[in-house]
């Protein structure tokens, strides 16, 4: 493509040069005369002008590649520069090149800025007749061409909209005279004119052939075609700026300058001019830009872009599918590990209970052995219950369904009670157990049971993992933050087996257990510390650990609470603990499992309560309807039962038209411990929630509280 363009431009230049040779006029004659004469072509006056040596200020148009434009060095470049350099070589003149601003250039501007010459001026009748312009002979000749979209038929009498570049005042006049029906529209640059034709804003553009050929190699203009205008020859010359008012001396100097330039042009051969055209074309070939490349290959790039997007989408879908597959595998593995761990921790005590029952049957007549087996069964049952509770607590904490109480807590009593609970176990292992409690605010709002749950677990762990004769210390300090919240910090430190650094990073993860240490044999299910860490977070604090293997560990438990007055609570607790039941309320036990129902009946009757057991909700409603008003003080209601569940039974009882329908206490008794089950129970009219397996001590406390409340009401 490049070679094709070079030959095309060279052919056009050669044709133009031949036209100059064959033309009649001063240029052709002067070429011949200069070549035949061996004498100095310049007169004495002209030689004096040259020898003054003052640089001449030349103005040039910047956007007419390859004829006249500003090069990378900021100087005039193109065919005009070749001509000027040759004139300087022939005559000895010196030139200073200054770029003209875009837009129409006025005579006043040229005069005020002190320009001597202007290059690339059209050699036509309009410019020849203009005042203040003294024109040289043409130095370059080509054709005017029409640039239009394919399919346009050029007709001189048509009403075309023609784009012209600002600064072309004379071409406007020439076109208006030669094509009176054309509408001429100004654009700021040559490229803007071509854009207008390409977008259909203008029908065509009329311009110098060399200039048009350069721009049409831009890919965006490939759809534009050129049509030669044979009747419009485009000749370019230099013009000198002369005064409008009579000034014979200055006018004579400018005429002398034009004479020097004309004689210099006449001494150039047509071959030289052709070589300048070809050289300028070769040196200033249109260079593709990134934008040109993207335009030329836009459809291919679009296809590649769509393909890339599709590939990215497919990759995303594959990665996402693999992620969910890995996540499902991880969840399945976690569930498998959970079930495996829980299976071990539940089957082991269950096996112990079954074995102890077998031994009791074998030794039923030996009361001493049976008593020992019963004591062992109680220990195993308590362990089994603790593991089930841990599993339930972990599920609630992870789902955000474990609600912590916000009641007044007396920390002095709490820490004292905790110390007394664990001191016996410490003394049995001859462990030096030190307690240092310093409280600035003993009363806060919090959950006594959950705070003590964390403390007991940390202290019990310290006891288990510390050798006989070791040391365990509990230190308690308090501080207040900017919001007035009390932060209590408890540190439990021991000199036991300690932990590896790698294990410390996962010690608070569910089922985390470290094997191969001196703690071996004291393993649990691995939920305790995970539950403690989650409880600490729910209390507005945190649980952390520092440990060194075979040197010991230090656990730091922080929890937050607002200040509270605990005096009334302490008195109330004391009163409750000292109160004795004088009148046990009747209790209706609604339980579909016959064995569980019988056990509850025997336990409660053994504590002095009068109890009736029914198998489902329907019978519970019938039993309550058949009772005298106020006969039943408490109903222990299972939730999932045949015929009628506990939710519906509670709703029906609350809707009955009798005075105790709204006052009887209904406690949900179920193994379903999710928050949604609690909410549903309360919405159906129940007063409290008792989790299975039932903590008998806790149940009796609730019943005696109801009994005490009943006495107070009477």
Distance CA(664)–CA(684), nearest Å, equals: 14
CATH code that applies to domain 405-566:
3.30.565.10
Distance from C-alpha of 556 to C-alpha of 455, rounded to nearest angstrom: 10
Whole-angstrom Cα distance, residue 579 to residue 575? 6
Alpha helices in 465-549 (DSSP H): 501-504, 528-538
- pLDDT tens profile 289-346: 777 667 666 778 788 888 888 898 888 888 988 888 887 887 677 666 666 666 656 6
81 versus 570: the higher-pLDDT residue is 81
Residue 19 has pLDDT above 60, yes or no: no
94's tokens:
């010196």
Reported as a single tens digit per residue, the pLDDT across 677-694 is 888 888 999 988 888 777
In terms of C-beta density within 10 A (0-12 exposed, 13-18 middle, 19 or more buried), how is residue 694 classed?
A: middle
Of the segments 252-266, 359-373, 558-572, which one has the largest average pLDDT value? 252-266
DSSP secondary-structure letter at 268? S
Instruction: Calculate the average pLDDT of the chain.
Output: 80
Q: Is 596 exposed, middle or buried (0-12, 13-18, 19+ CB in 10 A)?
A: middle
Helix (H, G, I), strand (E, B) or coil at 245: coil
Instruction: Select from 277, 288, 229, 261 the least CA-distant residue to 65.
Output: 277
Q: How far apart are CA 385 and CA 379, in angstroms?
A: 10
- The CATH class for the domain spanning 2-294 reads alpha beta
pLDDT tens digits, 639-651:
888 889 999 999 9
The pLDDT tens digits for 467-509 are 999 999 999 999 988 788 999 999 999 998 888 888 877 777 7
Distances (CA, A) of 367 to 98, 170, 374, 375, 522: 125, 133, 10, 12, 32
Query: Rounded to an integer, what distance in angstroms lies between the CA atom of residue 280 and that of residue 203?
Result: 30
pLDDT at residue 23 above 80? no
Across residues 144-165, what is the average pLDDT?
86
Tell me, rounded to whole angstroms, the distance of Cα 490 from its chain centroid: 40
Q: Which CATH architecture has domain 579-713?
A: 3-Layer(aba) Sandwich (3.40)
**583-607 residue pLDDT tens:** 556 899 999 888 788 888 888 888 8
Dihedral of alpha carbons 304, 307, 313, 316, sign: negative
Measured CA angle at 131 (ends 126, 136), to 5 deg:
70
The pLDDT value recorded for residue 95 is 93
Cβ(122)–Cβ(236) below 8 Å: yes
Token pair 């993860």 is at which residue?
A: 509
Determine the Cα–Cα distance for residues 389 and 27; give it in Å rounded to an integer.
114
Structure tokens at 410: 């007396």
Separation CA 228–CA 584 (nearest Å): 121
CATH number of 301-397: 1.10.287.130
Q: Alpha carbon 280 to chain centroid distance? A: 53
pLDDT band at 144 (very low <50, low <70, confident <90, very high): confident
Q: What residues does each domain of the chain span?
A: 2-294, 301-397, 405-566, 579-713
In eight-state DSSP terms, residue 221 is G
Check: CB of residue 495 under 8 Å from CB of residue 450.
Answer: no
Q: Where are the beta strands (DSSP E) in 150-195?
A: 161-165, 183-187
Q: What pLDDT shows up at residue 374?
A: 80
User: Which structure tokens are listed for 491?
Assistant: 């540190």
Q: How far apart are CA 8 and CA 16, in angstroms?
A: 13
The bridge status of strand 56-60 relative to strand 95-99 is parallel
Q: Give the strand pairing for 486-494 and 471-480.
A: antiparallel
């Amino acid at each position: 493509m490049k070679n094709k363009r070079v030959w095309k431009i060279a052919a056009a230049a050669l044709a133009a040069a031949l036209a100059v040779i064959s033309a009649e006029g001063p240029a052709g004659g002067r070429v011949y005369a200069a070549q035949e004469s061996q004498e100095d072509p310049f007169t004495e006056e002209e030689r004096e002008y040259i020898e003054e040596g003052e640089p001449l200020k030349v103005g040039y148009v910047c956007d007419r590649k390859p004829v006249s434009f500003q090069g990378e060095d900021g100087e005039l470049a193109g065919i005009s520069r070749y001509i000027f350099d040759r004139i300087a070589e022939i005559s000895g003149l010196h030139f200073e090149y200054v770029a003209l601003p875009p837009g129409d250039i006025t005579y006043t501007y040229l005069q005020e800025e002190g320009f001597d010459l202007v290059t690339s001026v059209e050699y036509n009748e309009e410019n020849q007749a203009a005042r203040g312009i003294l024109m040289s002979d043409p130095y370059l000749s080509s054709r005017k061409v029409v640039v239009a979209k394919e399919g346009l038929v050029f007709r001189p009498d048509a009403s075309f909209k023609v784009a012209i570049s600002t600064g072309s005042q004379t071409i406007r006049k020439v076109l208006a005279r030669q094509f009176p029906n054309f509408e001429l529209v100004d654009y700021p640059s040559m490229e803007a004119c071509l854009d207008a034709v390409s977008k259909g804003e203008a029908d065509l553009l009329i311009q110098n052939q060399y200039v048009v050929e350069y721009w049409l190699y831009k890919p965006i203009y490939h759809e534009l075609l050129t049509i030669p205008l044979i009747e419009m020859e485009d000749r370019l010359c230099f013009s000198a700026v002369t005064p409008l008012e009579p000034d014979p001396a200055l006018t004579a100097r400018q005429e002398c300058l034009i004479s020097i330039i004309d004689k210099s042009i006449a001494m150039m051969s047509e071959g030289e001019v052709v070589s300048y055209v070809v050289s300028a074309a070769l040196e200033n070939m249109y260079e593709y830009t990134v934008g040109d490349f993207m335009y030329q290959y836009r459809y291919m790039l679009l296809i590649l872009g769509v393909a890339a997007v599709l590939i990215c989408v497919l990759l995303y879908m594959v990665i996402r599918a693999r992620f969910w597959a890995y996540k499902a595998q991880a969840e399945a593995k976690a569930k498998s590990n959970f079930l495996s761990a829980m299976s071990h921790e539940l089957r082991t005590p269950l096996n112990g209970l079954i074995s102890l029952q077998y031994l009791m049957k074998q030794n039923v007549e030996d009361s001493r052995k049976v008593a020992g087996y019963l004591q062992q069964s109680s220990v195993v049952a308590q362990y089994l219950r603790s593991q089930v509770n841990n599993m339930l607590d972990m599920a609630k904490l992870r789902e955000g369904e474990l609600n912590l109480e916000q009641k007044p807590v007396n920390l002095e009593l709490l820490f004292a009670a905790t110390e007394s609970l664990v001191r016996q176990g410490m003394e049995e292992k001859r462990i030096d157990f030190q307690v240092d409690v310093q409280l600035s605010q003993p009363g806060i709002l919090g959950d006594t049971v959950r705070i003590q749950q964390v403390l007991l677990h940390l202290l019990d762990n310290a006891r288990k993992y510390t050798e006989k004769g070791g040391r365990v210390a509990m230190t308690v300090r308090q501080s207040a933050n900017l919001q007035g919240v009390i932060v209590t910090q408890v540190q439990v430190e021991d000199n036991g087996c300690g932990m590896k650094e790698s294990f410390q990073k996962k010690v608070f993860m569910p089922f985390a257990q470290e094997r191969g240490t001196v703690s071996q044999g004291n393993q649990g299910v691995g939920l305790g510390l995970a539950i403690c860490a989650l409880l600490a977070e729910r209390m507005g604090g945190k649980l952390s650990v520092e440990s060194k293997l075979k040197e010991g560990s230090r656990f730091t438990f922080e929890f937050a609470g607002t200040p509270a007055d605990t005096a009334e609570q302490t008195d109330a607790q004391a009163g409750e603990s000292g109160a004795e039941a004088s009148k046990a309320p009747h209790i209706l036990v609604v339980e579909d499992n016959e064995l569980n129902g019988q056990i509850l009946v025997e336990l409660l009757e053994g504590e002095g309560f009068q109890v009736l057991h029914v198998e489902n909700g329907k019978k519970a409603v019938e039993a309550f309807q058949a009772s005298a008003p106020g006969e039943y003080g408490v109903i222990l209601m299972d939730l999932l039962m045949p015929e009628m569940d506990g939710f519906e039974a509670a709703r029906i009882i609350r809707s009955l038209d009798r005075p105790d329908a709204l006052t009887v206490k209904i406690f949900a008794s179920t193994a379903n411990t999710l928050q949604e089950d609690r909410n549903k129970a309360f919405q159906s009219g129940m007063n409290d929630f008792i989790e299975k397996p039932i903590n008998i001590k806790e149940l009796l406390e609730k019943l005696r509280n109801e009994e005490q409340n009943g006495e107070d009401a009477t």
